[in-house]
């Protein structure tokens, strides 16, 4: 997500709400006090997780350039980076020993992966770790939000990628099929709409990325039309669903 200076009260309220949402997720991690955490998908959330925990982190991403960029540009201090290992690998085949981690985090990752592989990925997580934390956006929201998601979904499909949001029940059913025990689940709602200046900066970044990745211009135009409409209509992110599960139902929760 694009970082902006918090100079206006409206923007400050939004960033404060972002922090509240982040803390809701971090509280689920703190509940189980993990010593070794595997974070699948390198990004802004990686910084939050690493900064808020003394655990040893193993961060996995299929994009090796993304890992290199994170190390180069990260604001994390040296002490925290020293406690963070990076592995360039596919989430379907994480090169980790069985039962080698306390927690695997899948934060805003699964919706970017072909849904046909979701069950296999979670089965691999179950092999590797005692707990898994899934954090995903939900598909429901305002008309303007649904319009943005539709453009994103179709743009990604056009280049063979995915942006497929699912209802909470979908994730719960997958975990149940793997005989995993739900420790905690929560739906986190945004209290503050996205300020136009924040949305504008994000859309500008998205357009640059889409053009580099070869997304057809018609989707860029649809994104620009969405931004124009957002000048006069309030835009708010959809709810976030987070679920913490124990890999083995026969093992007691910490």
Residue 4 has pLDDT above 50, yes or no: no
In a domain, 147, yes or no: no
Residue 77 has pLDDT above 50, yes or no: yes
Residue 146 lies in a domain: no
Query: CA angle at residue 210 from 146 to 113, to 5 degrees?
Result: 65
Evaluate whether residue 166 is within a structural domain.
Answer: yes
What HEC string does 29-92 produce? Answer: HHHHCCCEEEEECCCHHHHHHHHCCCCEEEEEECCHHHHHHHHHHCCCCHHHHCCEEEEECCCC
Mean pLDDT of 156-178: 97
pLDDT single digits (tens) 184-205: 999 999 999 999 999 999 999 9
Of 250, 254, 253, 245, the C-alpha closest to 125 is 245
Whether residue 110 is contained in a domain is answered as yes
Confirm if 107 and 25 have CB atoms less than 8 A apart.
yes
- Is the per-residue pLDDT at 7 higher than 60? no
**In-domain check, residue 3:** no
Residue 5 has pLDDT above 60, yes or no: no
Taking the C-alpha atoms of residue 230 and residue 106, their distance in angstroms, rounded to an integer, is: 30
| Element containing residue 102 per DSSP (H, E) | strand 101-107
Is 171 a member of any domain?
yes
Query: Is 20 contained in some domain?
Result: yes
Quote the pLDDT of residue 251: 56
23 within some domain: yes
User: How many domains does the chain divide into?
Assistant: 1
CATH code at 183? 3.40.50.150
Q: How confident is residue 253, by pLDDT bands cut at 50, 70 and 90?
A: low
Q: Which two tokens stand for residue 90?
A: 């596919």
Domain with 134, as residue range(s), is: 9-140+162-191+237-246
CB 199 within 8 A of CB 235: yes
Taking the C-alpha atoms of residue 66 and residue 196, their distance in angstroms, rounded to an integer, is: 28
Per-residue model confidence as pLDDT tens digits over 96-108: 999 999 999 999 9
Span 223-230, mean pLDDT? 98
What is the 8-class DSSP label of residue 2? Answer: -
Q: Mean pLDDT across the chain, nearest whole number?
A: 91
Beta bridge partner(s), residue 186:
242
Rg (CA), the chain: 18
Q: Are strands 101-107 and 36-40 parallel, antiparallel or unpaired?
A: parallel
Query: d(Cα 206, Cα 215) in Å, to the nearest integer?
Result: 11
């Amino acid at each position: 997500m694009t970082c902006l200076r918090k100079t206006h009260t409206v923007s400050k309220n939004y960033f404060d709400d972002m922090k509240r949402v982040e803390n809701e997720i971090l509280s689920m991690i703190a509940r189980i006090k993990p010593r070794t955490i595997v974070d699948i998908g390198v990004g802004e959330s990686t910084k939050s997780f690493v900064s808020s925990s003394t655990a040893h982190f193993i961060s996995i991403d299929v994009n090796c350039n993304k890992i290199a960029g994170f190390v180069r540009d990260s604001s994390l201090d040296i002490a925290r980076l020293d406690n963070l290992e990076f592995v360039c690998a596919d989430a379907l085949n994480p090169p980790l020993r069985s039962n080698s981690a306390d927690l695997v985090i899948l934060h805003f990752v699964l919706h970017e992966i072909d849904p046909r592989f979701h069950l296999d990925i979670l089965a691999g997580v179950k092999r590797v770790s005692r707990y898994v934390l899934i954090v995903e956006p939900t598909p429901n929201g305002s008309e303007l939000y649904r319009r943005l998601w539709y453009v994103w979904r179709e743009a990604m499909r056009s280049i063979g990628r995915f942006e497929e949001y699912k209802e909470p029940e979908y994730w719960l059913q997958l975990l149940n099929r793997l005989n995993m025990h739900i420790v905690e689940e929560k739906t986190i709602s945004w209290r503050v709409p996205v300020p136009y200046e924040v949305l504008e900066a994000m859309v500008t970044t998205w357009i640059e990325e889409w053009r580099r990745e070869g997304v057809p211009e018609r989707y860029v135009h649809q994104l620009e039309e969405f931004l124009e409409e957002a000048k006069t209509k309030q835009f708010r992110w959809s709810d976030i669903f987070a679920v913490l599960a124990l890999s083995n139902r026969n093992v007691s929760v910490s």
